[in-house]
Amino acid sequence: MEKTVVKKTRTQTTVRNFLPCDACSARAKFNVQFSFGELDFCSHHFQLHETVITTISISVQSLGGASNETKAE
């Protein structure tokens, strides 16, 4: 009897792979930390509120996009 061993590599897909924007359902591109909590924004809503965000936020973190932008698949 022939036994075929299929090696399965389990790729860990983190939940952070897809974060919806808090203002719409688009993919969030920015995670913004405020003193009252954190919000995720798509690029559209980030740009829309950029002035306010950069003024009152503690930190702005770019989600994905930046590192995954040049993926050749």
Out of 19, 23, 43, 49, name the contact with Zn ion by CB under 5 A.
23
Nearer to Zn ion, 24 or 58 (CB): 24
Within the chain, residue ranges assigned H as helices are: 43-48, 50-56
Residue 56 interacting with Zn ion (CB under 5 A): no
Binding residues with Zn ion: total (CB under 5 A): 6
Q: Which residues of 29-50 are buried (b: 16+ CB within 10 A; e: fewer)?
A: bbbbeeeeeebbbbeebbeebe
Q: What type of residue sits at position 13?
A: T
Out of 26, 48, 56, 58, name the contact with Zn ion by CB under 5 A.
26
Out of 39, 42, 53, 63, name the contact with Zn ion by CB under 5 A.
42
CB 27 within 8 A of CB 65: no
- Residue numbers at the binding site for Zn ion (CB under 5 A): 21, 23-24, 26, 42, 45
